[in-house]
Structures are given as C-alpha cells and as structure tokens.
Structure 1
Amino acid sequence: MWNRPRFDLKVRLTLRVAAISAACFAAISAYFLITADRAAHARIDDIAAIVAKTLELQQGKVQWVASPRSDFPNLDPVSAYVMTPGLCLAFRGPGGDMLQRFCSGAPTPASPPPQLFAAFYRSLFDPGREAARPVIVRGAKLGETVVSVDPAVQTAEAWHEAGRLMLALAIALPLLCVLVYAALARALRPTRMIGSGLERIAAGDLTTRLPPFDLAELSAIRDVFNHLAESLDIALAERAELTRKLIALQDEERRHLARELHDEFGQSLAAIRALASSARQTAAQDCPDLLGECDGIARTATGMMETLRGALFRLRPPDVEELGLVASLEGLVAGWNGRSRGQTRFTIRFDGTFESLPAATSASLYRIVQEALTNAAKHAGATRVSLELAMHTEEIALAIDDDGRSNDPAAKSGMGLLGMRERVAALRGQLSFEAAPNGGSALRVVIPLAAADRQPLDRAA
C-alpha cells in the first residue's frame, strides 16, 4: 500500500478559509473596480450633456441678439467649473473636424500602477472612452461635444482604489489565518485525547475511556469509542474465560491420560519386566541360548518405562502450587539438562519474587515454558537455550532465546506454539515469536499483573 502524505487538519482548513477569503476579497475588488468604471463613465456623460446644453444656450443667445460677431463655440465658460485632471473637452463639427479642444494636465502619480495591472484594467474596462452629445438648435444639429479622460489617469485612480483593498487584504488575511488556526487548534484539541485513547486500546488497555467533549461531533465519536472499548473488554474477558475453561479441561484430560498410562501401560511394562526376569532364570537352568532374548526383552521394557516416565512428567507436571513456580521451573530445566546428555544446555534466571502469583497463573507459565523448551530442543535443534523470568511493577516478562533453526515450520506453527498462544491469551498477555538478530529464535511473553490477579484460584495443572 502506498504511503500517502498526511496533512494537518488545522492547516488544511486554515488554507481553505484563506482561499475563500482571498476569493471574497477578489470579488469585492472586482465589484469596486466595475462600480468605479461605471461612475467615471457616468460622470463624463453628465459633463458631455452639460457642455452640449451650454453650447446650445450660447448659440441661442447669438441668434437672439443677432450679433454679427460670433464666438461659437466657446468652451471657456464651462471648462472653468468642470475641468479635472486628465479631462478633455472638445467640439466636433458636422464634418467631423475638431473645432475646439481643451485638456487639463495629468499630474504624475506618486505610485504609478504596475504594468500588469494597467494592461489587465485596459483590457477589461477600456479607459479613455469618449462620451459624445449632439448640439441641436431649432432642430438643426450644429455638431457634438466630446468628453474623455486620459487612460493613464483613470487607470491610476483604479489602482489607487484597488491598492487600498489589497492593503486591507494583506493585513486582514494573515490575521484571519492566525485566528482561524488558533480557533481550530482549540476546537480540535480533544482529537489528541482520541488518538491517545486509540493507541492505548491498540496496546491492549481496554479500560481506556474518553471524557465528555463540548462539540457534538466529538461527543458522538466519544460515545462510539467508549462503547467499542467496553464491548471489546467484555468480549476478551469472555474469550479469556472460555480459554481458561478449555485449558482446564485439557489439563484434566492430561491428568486422566496420565492416570490411565500409569495404571494400565505402566503395570503392563512392569509385568513384562518381571516375566522377562523369570524367563531368564528358567533359561539359565534349562536353555542358556535364550538368555540374550530375555535380556533384550528386559532392556526394551526398561527403555519403554523411561519413556513413559518422561511422558507422564510432561502430562502431569509437579504440583506448582505446593512447590512454587521457581522450584518447578528449576526442576524442569534440570530434567531437560539430564535428558539431553550434554547435547543441549539449558539455563534459567529469575528476577523478582513469584510467591504471590495465583496458582492458575503459575501453572500457565509453567506450561508455556514447558512447550517452549520442547520446541527449542526437539523442533529447532538448539544447542543452547536460555530462559529469563522477570517480575516488574505492572507485568511479568518471560524471555526464551535459543540458537536453533528459526525457520523450522514446526517450531513456528506447531500445536505447542498454538497452546502457548491460548494460555497467553487467557492471561490477557502478549506473545511474540521471531528470529533473533544473531540467529536462532526469540520468544517473548508479557503478562499484565492486573490480568494475573484476576485469575481464578482453580488449579490449571
């Protein structure tokens, strides 16, 4: 599965708010620019209408006084009160010629607009567009007035208005992002508690519960989280109880099988040895050639008796409750050292006191160690096996290391490992079995003392 990049939710939401805010500022700026452009065109249209009406009055006065001297058109009277920087007034005759034109100078702006903005503004709004109004006297068109504004002046005015908005955006947008991020960080602070709770659940602490939250969405997550943790705790408790019952039933079957083997098979082997001894005495008197066969039968029966004792010892271990876990494990390791005849060396070390452990927990630990040593010696072919059992403040740690074959299928997935997992699950613990860095295998078992203390006092072995 690909590793997708993860982004902080607060940063992502803040960036989205910033993008929306910037879009709103851009829309407001566009609205102001459009409004300003319309106002500028409306102003020059009004000026054109005023100039046209003034010229009409001038022509009417000339005709009324019948003055032979005519100074029509005369734009001086109207230019005195309508002229603004960059404004041009003109009169175009019927033939299209400019008969008179007045333009005011355009001051150099302190901060001229950027070329990019100027090109953008001119492409959208067409600054410098002329406004024309006809001059009509007694139904005859004498010409028309033409009013325009210098495009550079209109563009500079637009940049001045947009610049103020951009300055407001430059100040408000970072402040808004900071405030939004702080508000989101405060609102999403409970998510850290949710993440921590999930980590504790993953670590096996099903007693974790989340407190109430102010936000309705987080409160819904909290309710589902607590319900899930409670359900998992109940389910694991029921599973652990069922596993304990199955283990108790398995141990009872082992004790029953051990009794049957001891009473039936053991007595039969003892009878065979007695008959072989009796037959040897008879053969020594009557038929010496049968002495070898009688001795062979006796040796076979003796070997089977030794095998039977080992099987009975594994089926029914010493009473851990009476001897104690430490003494029982020391006896188990000593027995393996004796039976291996130096081919495998077993060592054991304890750290802490184990007298206060419940009998069921001690018996389960004994069985786990027994199965682990069997796997290491028989399946993995180890020559060195080290065992360490430590009592910590909140847990019991068991570590078994060997130098055997770590890739052996029987050592990894056999019934022995399955039985160990069942017993560890019944104790609400964790088991890991993997290859050691320097070769061999490493078995680790961790059992919480809280779960060990909740174990029933019925004997499991």
Structure 2
Amino acid sequence: MWNWSNSDLKVRLTLRVAAVSTLCLAAISCYFLIDSEHTVRARVEAIAGVTARTLELQQSKIQWVNNPRSDFPDLDAVAASVMTSGLCLAFRTSEGDVRQRICSGAQSDTAAPPIAFAALYRRLFDPGREAVHPVTVSGNAIGEAVVWIDPAVLTAGAWHDAGRLMAAFAIALPLLCALVYAALARALRPTRLICDGLERIAANDLTARLPPFDLAELSAIRDVFNHLAESLATALADRNELTQKLISLQDEERRHLARELHDEFGQSLAAIRALAASARQTAAQDCPPLLAECDGIARTAAGMMETLRGALFRLRPPDVDELGLAASLEGLVAGWNVRSRGRPRFEIAISGTFERLASSISANLYRIVQEALTNAAKHAGATRVALRLEMRESDPQLSTPCEIALAIDDDGRPGDPPVKSGMGLLGMRERVAALGGRLSFEAGHGKGSSLRVLVPVAISQPVGAAAEYAA
C-alpha cells in the first residue's frame, strides 16, 4: 500500500503534475466537444437555411413559368453540395407530411463508441436535433425545410476525436512525467548534500559545511546551516572549556575535603581509639565491668575509621600518574570486591599498554569507571559487574591512531532514571566530551545495562596486547 506521507518528493510532485495534466486534458476534451457540438449545430442551421431558400426559389420558378407539373420539392440540388455522412434533408408540408427526404449513410469503417460514452454524450448534447426553417412563398408558409444529422454518426465522430486526443495524451503524459521527474531530481540533488551535512552534525562532526548552491532557497538553507554549525562548534568549545574547569574544580574540592577529613576526623578517631585503649587498661585494674563499654567504644571507632578510609579512597583515589591507569583500576575493583564481600562480584579485563597515557586521560577514565561502579553497586542492585578496558589500533593515517575502548556491563535494574540518567551519567558524558570521545548507555528491557566509552589517544610508540590483566 502506498504510503503518501513518506513518499519521495520527486514522485509526489510528478504525481501532482500528472493529476493536473489529466484535469487539463478533461477540461480540453470538454471544450472541444462543446465547440464541436456548436459547430455542427451552426452548420446544420446554415444548411437548413440554404435548403429553405432553394425550395422558395423552386416554388417561385414554378409560378413564373406557370408549370404546375414541375417536381417540387427537388432536394437533389441542395444535397449534391452539402451532403455529408449521416446528414438528412427533408421537406415537411404545413399539414406535417414529409414529401421528400434524402439521407446519406454513415461510414462503415467508423468504430462504434462505448455504450457509456454514447449515453453520456447524448445526455449532455442531445445529438440529432432538427434544424427547421420555414419555406414561404408570397408571404404564405407552404412548409418547412428540415435538416438533422444521425445521432449515431455524431456520437461516433465525437468518440473518434476524443480517442485521438487521449492517444496523444497517453504518449505525452509519460514523457512529461519523465521530464518533470528528471528536472526535479536534478534540482533536488543538493538536498542529499544537506542530509549528509545534517547526519555529520548529528554525529558530532561540527566541521561539516555545505557548498554553495545555485537555487536561492537552497543557498539560504546553506547559510543557516553553516552558521548553525559554526555556532554549535563555538558553543561546544566553550562548554568543553567550562567542563574542564568544573571537573578540575570538583577534583580539587574532593582533594581538599579528603585532606580535611583525614586531618580532622582521622586524628579525632585515632585519639578516641587511644583513649578507649587507655580507659580499658584502667578499667581492667580498677573497674572490670567497664571493659565491655571500652571495647565497644574501640570497635565503634574502628568501624568509623574503616568508613572514613573508604570515603577518602573515593574522594582522593591513588595517584594514577604513579601507579598507572591499569593498576589503579585493578585496585579500585579489588577494593569493591573486598567491601562488597563478593556481592556483587566485580570483574576486570585489561588489554594493551597504558603507561604512556596523558595524566588527564587516565584521571578522567578512572573517575568514569569509579562513577559507573558506584551506580551499579549501590543503585542498580547488580550481582555481577564486568569491566573491560582495551587499547585499540586504528588507521595510522589519522591524527590519533589509537583509541581506548571502555565497556562496563551489569545485570542490575535498568529502570532508575534519576541514577542512570541523572548527574552521574551527565558527569561521565562531560568527562568523555572533554576528552573528545564518545559515550553510549543502553538499558535492556529485562535486566542489566551497558556503558560504552571510546576515547581517541595519540601514543608515540606502537601499541600491542603486551599486557593482559584479569581479576
């Protein structure tokens, strides 16, 4: 079934041209049929007038020569000059008697028109109507000259003329549609360039520009498109610069908060544990019932110190520049496995060498993984989280012949928009955008979600699968 709403513009316009042409043919056909009918009626009226005058002359001649035996009426003289296919001449007396009638036969090679066309033509034009002119002699009417054409002959002639017109239209219409389609295809060829440019913009290629066009309308689109691409490129550059500043500020705030917690709360908790140990020694000598309370204080302080260590680890991760990205991620995964006691189970697989990465790339990738693991463990309720990090080689002709592929899959709940689509994912997107990479997140209809990150990098020496890690 034809889907008109999604049809090709060239096809749609060509069909409209065909429809308009068909309507024009119908109008022209009607005009020619009406004009032909008027022409036939005028001709029949003229023949009737000539016949009436001829009969009047014949009657006057009879009276002048006083020859009552002369043949009257004599229509042969008129018929010899005016007779055509289907034409009939007659003289009808004042009493209504037809004294003479001459009719010519129809052409035998004329094809009979369709019944529907014949019925319509007779309904519209009433062919075969008589043209009547009185025959008068000395002011007295002695009869009438009657002329008509056989309706079947008129209908066949109209169908013949209409058939020739339709045959010419049947030949011209496909040719016209082909020419219109070709002209539209040529005129709309630049729209393919516009679609390609939009697809490049949608793929975050803001260097896309449209070339000049001949048509003024397409040139206006080109100007707006190029201005939009330039504006988007400028806005994206400004956003990336602001994002870098915000990320740096956020990391600095985290480091500052980690120092404050370590210096203040860490020392306070250490002091509490020392006081608890001292109080226990005193209680062991003087008041044994207080030993349980002292042990409880010590356990509480130890638990708080363990919680503080985890918070400090998240706020201030190990120095990625010193340990390297691979070792830092292995330590992060191992820490999660220890804290979660095997539920969920975190797995990691690293392929390639990452020692020569820039510190900004390593730090941002570490933060992305840290945020993703936190979401999977604390919010998605996952039982298994798999992390894969791979250094891939790409086309050496490119400015960045390598790219880092990061994949994180979990089997947790996929439908928690505030966590999965909120600031955590937004922060990861900003970090990836700052690195010039691409991020995609997919949540399955059942259970689980997938995070994919691709970051282009430039490394001076070839990259191979020199290191394989599994934890």
What is the TM-score of this pair, normalised by structure 2?
0.86
| Pair 1:403 & 2:405 matched | no
**1:427 touches 1:451 (CA, 8 Å); kept in 2?**
no
List aligned pairs for 1:435-450, cutoff 5 A: 435-436=443-444, 439=447, 441-449=448-456
Tell me how far 1:432 sits from its aligned partner: 4.6
Separation in 2, partners of 1:385, 1:362: 21
Deviates more, 1:19-28 or 1:225-234: 225-234
Separation in 2, partners of 1:368, 1:344: 19
Deviates more, 1:417-426 or 1:308-317: 417-426
Separation in 2, partners of 1:409, 1:65: 120
| Pair 1:244 & 2:244 matched | yes
Separation in 2, partners of 1:135, 1:451: 112
Deviates more, 1:324-333 or 1:277-286: 277-286
Tell me how far 1:408 sits from its aligned partner: 5.4
Paired letter, 2:41: H
Structure 1 equivalent of residue 234 of structure 2: 234
Structure 2 equivalent of residue 26 of structure 1: 26
**2:91 touches 2:143 (CA, 8 Å); kept in 1?**
yes
**1:240 touches 1:428 (CA, 8 Å); kept in 2?**
no
Distance of aligned partners of 1:379 and 1:128 in 2 relative to their CA distance in 1, 3 Å threshold: closer
Deviations 1:73-125 (A, max 9, x none): 21122222222221111111122221211112223344211111111111122
Paired letter, 2:221: I
Deviations 1:332-356 (A, max 9, x none): 1122223333333221112444445
Paired letter, 1:195: C
Tell me how far 1:226 sits from its aligned partner: 2.0
Distance of aligned partners of 1:418 and 1:155 in 2 relative to their CA distance in 1, 3 Å threshold: closer
Tell me how far 1:329 sits from its aligned partner: 1.0
Separation in 1, partners of 2:252, 2:270: 26
Deviates more, 1:161-170 or 1:298-307: 298-307
List aligned pairs for 1:148-187, cutoff 5 A: 148-187=148-187
Tell me how far 1:451 sits from its aligned partner: 12
Separation in 2, partners of 1:125, 1:307: 103
Paired letter, 1:399: A
1:30 is paired with a residue whose SS is helix
| Pair 1:96 & 2:104 matched | no
**2:344 touches 2:385 (CA, 8 Å); kept in 1?**
yes
**1:379 touches 1:410 (CA, 8 Å); kept in 2?**
no
Tell me how far 1:257 sits from its aligned partner: 0.8
Tell me how far 1:319 sits from its aligned partner: 1.9
Separation in 2, partners of 1:306, 1:384: 24
Separation in 2, partners of 1:38, 1:165: 19
Paired letter, 1:216: A
Distance of aligned partners of 1:415 and 1:197 in 2 relative to their CA distance in 1, 3 Å threshold: closer
Structure 1 equivalent of residue 63 of structure 2: 63
Q: Percent identity?
A: 73
Separation in 1, partners of 2:413, 2:82: 104
Tell me how far 1:359 sits from its aligned partner: 2.2
Structure 1 unaligned blocks of 5 or more: 453-461
Structure 1 equivalent of residue 333 of structure 2: 333
**1:427 touches 1:447 (CA, 8 Å); kept in 2?**
no
Tell me how far 1:367 sits from its aligned partner: 0.8
Tell me how far 1:160 sits from its aligned partner: 1.3
Distance of aligned partners of 1:357 and 1:131 in 2 relative to their CA distance in 1, 3 Å threshold: farther
Deviates more, 1:84-93 or 1:288-297: 288-297
Distance of aligned partners of 1:451 and 1:413 in 2 relative to their CA distance in 1, 3 Å threshold: farther
Deviations 1:13-60 (A, max 9, x none): 111101111111122222222222222122222222222222222222
Deviations 1:414-457 (A, max 9, x none): 65445434434544555454544663x323133452899xxxxx
Structure 2 unaligned blocks of 5 or more: 395-401, 460-471
Separation in 1, partners of 2:184, 2:18: 14
Separation in 2, partners of 1:254, 1:451: 29
Separation in 2, partners of 1:172, 1:450: 62
Paired letter, 2:317: P
Paired letter, 2:449: A
What is the TM-score of this pair, normalised by structure 1?
0.88
Separation in 1, partners of 2:28, 2:378: 82
Paired letter, 1:420: M
Paired letter, 1:368: I
Separation in 2, partners of 1:17, 1:189: 19
Distance of aligned partners of 1:334 and 1:65 in 2 relative to their CA distance in 1, 3 Å threshold: same
Structure 1 equivalent of residue 138 of structure 2: 138
1:449 is paired with a residue whose SS is strand
Deviations 1:195-249 (A, max 9, x none): 2332332333333222222222222222222222222222232222222212211
Tell me how far 1:151 sits from its aligned partner: 0.9
List aligned pairs for 1:58-457, cutoff 5 A: 58-392=58-392, 393=394, 396-407=404-415, 411-412=419-420, 416-427=424-435, 429=437, 431-436=439-444, 439=447, 441-449=448-456
**1:380 touches 1:405 (CA, 8 Å); kept in 2?**
yes
**1:399 touches 1:442 (CA, 8 Å); kept in 2?**
no
**2:442 touches 2:449 (CA, 8 Å); kept in 1?**
yes
Distance of aligned partners of 1:295 and 1:192 in 2 relative to their CA distance in 1, 3 Å threshold: same
Tell me how far 1:395 sits from its aligned partner: 5.2
Distance of aligned partners of 1:111 and 1:301 in 2 relative to their CA distance in 1, 3 Å threshold: same
**2:197 touches 2:210 (CA, 8 Å); kept in 1?**
yes
When the two structures are aligned, how many residues end up with a matched partner?
449
Paired letter, 1:402: D
Separation in 1, partners of 2:178, 2:355: 60
